[in-house]
Structures are given as C-alpha cells and as structure tokens.
Amino acid sequence: MITAQEISSFLPHKFPMLMVDRIIELESGNRVLAIKNVTINESYFPGHFPGSPVMPGVLIVECMAQTAALVFNPESNAALNGKFVAKPKYLVKIDQMKFVRKVTPGDQLVVEVRLFRSFAQLVQVSASARVDGALVASGKLTFSG
C-alpha cells in the first residue's frame, strides 16, 4: 500500500490539487488501483452545487489521470520494453468518457487504471471509477511525454 505522503513525493501535484489518497494495488507498467476519499470539506462543494454537493466530472477524470501517472514510474518504463522512452507527463486526449452515477461527500472513489496500448510517444490507458462497487465513470485517457 502506498500512502498519500509517498504519492505526493512522486506526483508533481500537491494539496489542494492532489486527487489520490492511497494506492492499494500497483502492477508497475500495467495496472493501478487507487482511492480518493471524497469529503464534505473539499473546496469545490460549496459551489457545486449548494444544498446538493456533487463532485465535478472533470475532477473524477483528474483523479484518473493522476492515478495513471503512477503506472509510469521508472520501473514501469522498463516494463514497457522501451516502447515509451520518456515518462508521460501530459494528458492529451480523453476518449469515450462516460459518467453514470453522481459522486457525493462521504463516497470513497476507487479508481482502476490499466495500460491499454502504447504507440510512438503516446500511452493510452483505460480508466474506471467506482463507489461501493458501482461504476461511476469510465473511458480512455491518452498521455504524451
């Protein structure tokens, strides 16, 4: 298990933009399972939406993207057999993203990211987010170095 402090040392994101609280499974270069605890004191809830707080979909995607970045640590690059030389840094494309359920304060968002394919200087992952086992969002994300 990788804690928030360890995640913070790897990702360039810091509070309040760090969207991953814990890594519970990591298959370097292949798959990551992460947790984001959604709390009422998140800075966006007072305005999204007053009286009926909902986590913005764009922040669910950001959580997926940050989780994906944890697949691409130096050991992961070796696991890709040189197909991707540089560590991907930038989200360049979002495909087929679907949101099927609201995420509200008190939910624990479980994000799974799997390497889908790599080509040229791009890496594509499939990502899904669940709350209590129910699918919340899913799609594909593409990154470049």
Give the whole-angstrom CA distance, residue 81 versus residue 67.
21
Sequence-ordered list of residues with C-beta below 8 angstroms from that of 100, at least 6 positions apart, any chain: 135, 136, 137, 138
> pLDDT, tens digit, for every residue of 25-75?
988 778 999 999 999 999 999 999 999 999 999 999 999 999 998 887 654
Show the DSSP H helices in the chain as ranges. Answer: 4-10, 57-69, 74-79
What pLDDT, on the 0 to 100 scale, is given for residue 119?
81
pLDDT tens-digit series, residues 112-143: 999 988 888 889 999 999 999 999 999 999 99
Catalytic-role residue among 13, 22, 31, 48: 48
Per-residue model confidence (pLDDT) at position 2: 85
Query: What residues does each domain of the chain span?
Result: 4-144
CA distance 109 to 95: 20
Phi first, then psi: what are they for 129, rounded to 5°?
-130, 140
Q: Are 40 and 86 in contact (CB under 8 A)?
A: no
pTM of the predicted structure, to 2 decimals: 0.90
Contact 126, 111 (CB under 8 A): no
Annotation marks residue 13 as catalytic: no
Phi and psi torsions of 9, nearest 5°: -75, -20
pLDDT at residue 86, as a whole number: 45
What band does 76 get if pLDDT is binned at 50, 70 and 90? very low
What span, in angstroms and rounded, lies between the C-alpha atoms of 19 and 79?
Answer: 25
CATH architecture for the domain at 4-144: Roll (3.10)
Higher pLDDT, 24 or 120: 24
